[in-house]
Amino acid sequence: MPEVVARLLRGKVDSAISGIFEKLREAGSSGAGALGIFVGVVKGEVAGKRVEKLVYTAYESLAQSRLEEIARSAATKYGLDAAYIYHATGELRPGDATVVIAAIAKSRKSALAAVGEMIERVKHEVPIFKLEVREDGEYWVVGDGERVPRLRPGT
Amino acid sequence: MLVRGYSVFQDLVGEKVIEVSEGSTVEDVLRLALGRAPEDLHVKPLVFVNDKPAGLKDALRDGDVLLVFPPFSGG
**Structure confidence at residue A129 (pLDDT):** 97
d(CA A68, CA A7): 8
User: pLDDT, tens digit, for every residue of A45-80?
Assistant: 999 999 999 999 999 999 999 999 999 999 999 999
Instruction: Record the pTM.
Output: 0.92
How many residue pairs from chains A and B have C-beta atoms closer than 8 A? 72
Contact A62, B51 (CB under 8 A): yes
pLDDT of residue A155: 46
Nearest to B67 among A40, A59, A148 (CB): A59
Provide ipTM, 2 decimals: 0.90
Instruction: Check residue A15 and give its pLDDT.
Output: 83
B6, B11, B74 member nearest A126 (Cβ): B74
Q: Is the pLDDT of residue A149 over 70?
A: yes
List % helix, strand, coil for chain A (3-state, nearest 5).
30, 40, 25
